Chain A
Amino acid sequence: MRSLLEHTRVFLLTAALSLSAAPLCAQSLYNAAGLGLPAESIDGRGRALGNLGIGLFGHAILPSDPGAAGLLVIPAAVLVAQPSWVEYQRGEDESGSFQGNRFPLLGIGYPLFSGMFTANFGSFLDQRFDGQRDVTVDLLDGPTDASDFFEQNGAVSLVNFGYSRRLSDRLGVGFSVGRYAGSLTRRLIRDFGDASATANLELYEVGGRWSYSGASLTAGFAADLGTIVRVAGSATWTGSLNATGSEGTDGSHRSFDLPFQYRLGTSVVLAPGLLITASVVRADWGDIADDLSTPSTVGTTNGFGVGLELSRARLLGLTAPLRFGYRKSSLPFSFGSGGATETTLAGGFGFILNQTGGITLAGADFALERGERSDSSLTEKFWRATFSLRVTGY
């Protein structure tokens, strides 16, 4: 009877996780504004705590928190998947929904030269979206209906290589050098469909493909004040983001100025098994406005997040910390006259699958966020799930 109960619990847990994890799918119409929508490389624990990628106790390898990597002592790796389901409303007439998936972070850390060598690959700007426009073309035979389809497919991604080390038992510093990569394809297709007044008309297709390049440098620290407080900070300098058209692309090469980014975060253990965290971020994207050829509202991204973790919670005999969080941040690009903001309420839990001597050898974290992105013309309400797997050890 007891065995049956345990099987039932495993089944119910699996079913519940299945509902949140499949299909893995994350996008936004804000991808079409300016250079796109920033995509943060944060794991499931950080998402559940409303964190902005800095200042958490634990063993995460996040590109925005190089100091924390210096406090790690054994190799670690993390993989993050993030589906989302979005409903949007633009004006009074245009509404709909879509879903998508991305993998915002893949990172590893390995001890080397008395420190921790880190490498991670993550998203930086999501740019994928489609557009459609119905037109009527006047031919000698008469008006003919046609549709213009526009496809923008691609993203700016960031590859980071870093080195962090412990300066004392309670202070770690680190830096990472990043290279922007990825590409963007923009294609406009005019389709005359079956409504052509004459014979079958071939598609009209024009567009191009651009490859991104550029460099960034991130430096940061993480300090433990006793065993109950951690404070961390980082700054990221970015050179120009260069977009080079490939052969056959008529569009011109372009260059965009990316902003400095500052992050500050802290975690405080209020009581055994009870942790609170807070973090802030700031980046001024104003300089990029002159680089954009299409009208777009550009602003400063200020954000903050707070969260609570009950780390002694258990589920199915496993340690399963419960987490809750809230965050609010502004988006760099928007459609309306004012800036756009994103707010989320988050909840989640983690599983410590294997732990030895206080070190988590294998763990999984889940977060589910309910959020809203809005400016004066577009509102998106979304569910966003984040699933991450982390392993440590030799």
Chain B
Amino acid sequence: MAWRATRLRRENVRSKLIGSLLALAALGVVACAEQTPTSLDESLLPDEPITLELHIPWEDFASNLEVIGGYGSPSELGAGVLANSFAGTLDARTLLRFGAYPTTVSVRDTTGTTRPDSSLTFIGGRVVAFLDTIASTNEGPVLLRLGAIQHPWDVSTVTWTTAVDTINDRRPWPEEGAGPVVPLGTAEWDPATGDSVWFELDSAQVAAWADTSDVSRGARIDLLTEGARIQIATAVLRLNTRPSLNPDSTFFLVAPREEITFIYSPFPEPPPDGIRVGGAPAWRTVLDIRVPTQLNGPEALCAVVACPVTLHSSELNYAAVVLRTRRTQDAFQPTDTVAIDVRPVLSRVALPKAPLGNSLVGFAGRLIGPEFFGDQAGQDVEIPITIFARNLVSGTDAAGFDPPETLALLSVFEPVSITFASFNGPGDENAPFLKLIVTIGRSVELP
């Protein structure tokens, strides 16, 4: 029996050993950490390629520059603008409509019980405007005026001269600049004391704006102080309310802002010789691009490879349109950072409503400080278009289609501000140029 037990134990050990060996084999395969032999000996590498920066002048890479305006409406901005002879030229007014008034309020009656009360009496109110202190240009107090609009107007199409401009319905203002209005009062805003201003209303005016079916209802805010441009972030109508259940008390209810837009004059003309991006409605600049596919210099390149050399897309490391900033009209000079987007135009013949491709500069866009369009104008700004240029060189895009040859320069959001960015166009030494960084070398051969 002892002999048999010993033999069984040996069989047991043997089976465990076989299992261990097989497990080792599997472990060895799975646990392999491959480290490739790496040498720093340059003689083992192929010949060094050459990297060059090339500047292609406007005439050799771009054509058909066109500035197109009218994208979006000031009402999409969700803010108002006021100006009075700003930079000696710009006048701007903000138009507002408020929504339906509250119809019930919870009131504690004379017995101390809180109950809903739908029999409300509006005994007055005030329009409260909240101002954007950064986007506004004034440093001292300014005087604002509120008026009640008397003429039907359409928030999407209203302009300085036209109250309504929809299909088969074009109605000018009786008086340019959204007039006439019934004056409702003035108020002074000093940015040093706060970021809001209000205008008191009587019960008659509050009642006049209660009818939401009245398309002529609305408020117009003007700037009476000359030489400033002010941005209104938003506005509300605060209602002074007396409930029937507790007539000795006054409640403050709020009617929200339903619509806000602004009108301005004069409307800027498209630049005859420049590039413009931004504004409200927004401006875009489109241009056709071509990238050289054969290089015949410089000498450093031809010393490495036989010239002329055909440029392949994989040899193009970087491509950018370099624009030189110029001073924007003072009235529309940016007061905040400008974000420029660049996208391929997928069908040039469909302009100005042509579909656009994906952004070439990412979600945030190419950010440019406002000073580059004012005191520090004349700075070069690179707008990267590497993927676009690579597609042009290869002749196909990522999906295998013919690549678009037209680029659109536009604001990241349209519209984002009444201000716009300006750059020099073709025709002089400040003209845009194409910056290319290419790396070219001999083909890799076997040892």
Contact = CB atoms under 8 A, between A and B. Distances in A.
A100 B34 contact: yes
Contacts of A208: 443-444
Interface stretch (B47-55, B230-238, B260-268, B275-283): B47-55
A203 B313 CA distance: 11
Interface in A263-305: 292-296
Contacts of B445: 251-252, 254, 293
Interface in A71-116: 81, 83, 86, 88, 90, 94, 96, 98-101
A194 B416 CA distance: 32
A204 B32 contact: no
Given A23-B31, A202-B386, A251-B446, A188 B38 contact: no
Q: Which of A150, A202, A210 has the most CB of B within 10 A?
A: A202
Interface stretch (B11-19, B122-130, B251-259): B11-19
Given A130-B36, A190-B51, A204-B49, 14 more contacts: A2-B9, A18-B24, A22-B31, A23-B28, A27-B36, A32-B41, A129-B44, A137-B51, A140-B53, A186-B444, A199-B382, A200-B384, A204-B51, A204-B317
Contacts of A243: 446
A33 B329 CA distance: 67
A389 B17 contact: no
A364 B21 contact: yes
B12 to A, nearest CB: 8
Interface in A173-203: 184, 186-188, 190, 192, 198-203
B314 interface: yes
Contacts of B14: 316-318, 353
A200 B33 CA distance: 32
A135 B48 contact: yes
B310 to A, nearest CB: 11
A245 to B, nearest CB: 9
A351 B44 contact: no
A292 B447 contact: yes
A17 B26 CA distance: 12
A130 B444 contact: no
B118 to A, nearest CB: 63
A137 B439 CA distance: 10
A187 B386 contact: no
Q: Which of B20, B23, B55, B386 has the most CB of A within 10 A?
A: B20
Q: Which of A17, A34, A86 has the most CB of B within 10 A?
A: A17
B20 A10 contact: yes
B315 interface: yes
Interface residues of B, number: 57
Interface in B143-186: none
Interface string B43-68: 11110110111010000000000000
A362 B232 CA distance: 88
B283 to A, nearest CB: 25
B28 A24 contact: yes
Interface string A1-37: 0110010011001100110011111011101101100
Contacts of B31: 22-24
B48 A316 contact: no
B446 A131 contact: no
A359 interface: no
B357 interface: no
Contact of A389 (B25, B53, B437, B441): B25
A35 B16 CA distance: 44
Nearest to B317: A201
Interface string A326-365: 0000000001000000000000000101000000001010
B37 interface: yes
B193 interface: no
Contact of B35 (A100, A148, A387): A100
Given A188-B45, A296-B447, A130 B32 contact: no
B413 interface: no
Given A3-B9, A17-B20, A206 B444 contact: yes
A313 interface: no
A83 B444 contact: no
A345 to B, nearest CB: 22
A-B interface, 6 closest residue pairs, ranked by CB to CB distance from nearest: A250-B443, A24-B28, A204-B439, A137-B51, A98-B35, A23-B31
A128 B38 CA distance: 9
Contact of A99 (B12, B33, B386, B446): B33
B446 A133 contact: no
Contact of A198 (B23, B33, B382): B382
Given A2-B9, A208-B443, A133 B42 contact: yes
Contacts of B12: 6
Contacts of B115: none
A287 to B, nearest CB: 16
11 contacts: A2-B9, A21-B25, A22-B27, A27-B36, A132-B39, A133-B40, A188-B441, A206-B314, A210-B446, A254-B445, A293-B447
Contact of B441 (A3, A88, A206, A387): A206
Contacts of B43: 295
Contacts of B42: 131, 133
A182 B46 CA distance: 22
B192 interface: no
Contacts of B34: 25, 99-101
Given A10-B20, A128-B37, A130-B38, A201 B446 contact: no
A162 B38 CA distance: 38
B349 interface: no
A81 B25 contact: yes
Q: Which of B34, B45, B447 has the most CB of A within 10 A?
A: B447
B318 A17 contact: no
B241 to A, nearest CB: 59
B10 interface: yes
Interface string A229-250: 0000000000000010000001
A186 B446 contact: yes
Nearest to A90: B41
Nearest to B316: A202
Given A13-B20, A387-B25, A251 B384 contact: no
B107 interface: no
A187 to B, nearest CB: 7
Given A186-B446, A208-B444, A210-B446, A29 B20 contact: no
B382 A204 contact: no
B350 interface: no
B379 to A, nearest CB: 14
